[in-house]
Homo-oligomer: A and B are copies of this chain.
Amino acid sequence: MEAAARVIARRGVRGLRVEELAAEAGVSTALIYYHFKDRTGILRATLEFISDRAERYTTERETGAQPLDARGELEQTLLLELQDTAEVRENSAAWGELRASAVFDPELREDLARATLVWVQEVAELLGRVRPMGGAAALAGSAERLTALLEGLSVRWLSGSLPLAHARELMAGAIDAELQRLR
């Protein structure tokens, strides 16, 4: 699965060559087909893998780091997705591609919608901790906007239309605006 995430981040979903994946994982193509029914099976498993991994690295804090307040948690969770480390870049690129390919291929749409919902709810929950009086609908709306914006900024960054630092500033500004709105 790590190899799959790497290859998809490097070539895209539509550029994924099973042979390249096999080489990256150090096995034969036949073995890939032994473990996964077909290309789609590989993609489905990779989507789950990167969702879990993102969940992990946005949630975990280094041991010894002082605990963050609610707003800090929120900012961390969203801004951590805009970082130039191998793991995050891989995750962002692969997530964006799975999203983009679902426009033309319905097969992964359900899995993707489910994963999106989980993510939106997480962010809504964090927003709720900063604004305990915020209504559920308003929190959900803000969470949808913030996560959709993050996807938009992320692909602009990765496609070379927006420097990473600027993307981060814009994201921080949006968090600010949504919290104002929920006041």
A160 within 8 A of B: yes
CA distance A161 to B116 in the complex (A): 7
Q: For A147, A149, A151, which residue has the most chain B Cβ atoms within 10 angstroms?
A: A149
Main secondary structure of the interface of A (DSSP, over half): helix
Q: For A141, give its contact among B12, B109, B160, B170 (CB under 8 Å).
A: B170
Residues on B with beta carbons closer than 8 Å to the beta carbon of A145: 149, 170, 173-174
Q: For A109, give its contact among B101, B112, B153, B161 (CB under 8 Å).
A: B161
A61 within 8 A of B: no
Q: For A113, A152, A156, which residue has the most chain B Cβ atoms within 10 angstroms?
A: A152
Q: What count of chain A residues pass the 8 Å CB interface test?
A: 46
Q: For A161, give its contact among B93, B112, B149 (CB under 8 Å).
A: B112
Q: Known: A11-B104, A104-B12, A141-B170. Contact between A153 and B159, CB under 8 A?
A: no
A102 within 8 A of B: yes
Residue of B nearest to A116 (CB): B161
A67 within 8 A of B: no
Residues on B with beta carbons closer than 8 Å to the beta carbon of A125: none
10 tightest CB-CB pairs across the interface, nearest first?
A: A152-B152, A14-B14, A100-B100, A148-B152, A102-B159, A12-B104, A109-B160, A151-B152, A113-B161, A103-B158
Return 21 A-B CB contacts under 8 Å, by A number: A14-B15, A15-B104, A97-B103, A99-B155, A99-B156, A100-B155, A102-B159, A102-B160, A106-B160, A112-B159, A112-B161, A113-B160, A116-B156, A116-B161, A148-B149, A151-B152, A151-B155, A177-B178, A177-B180, A177-B181, A180-B180
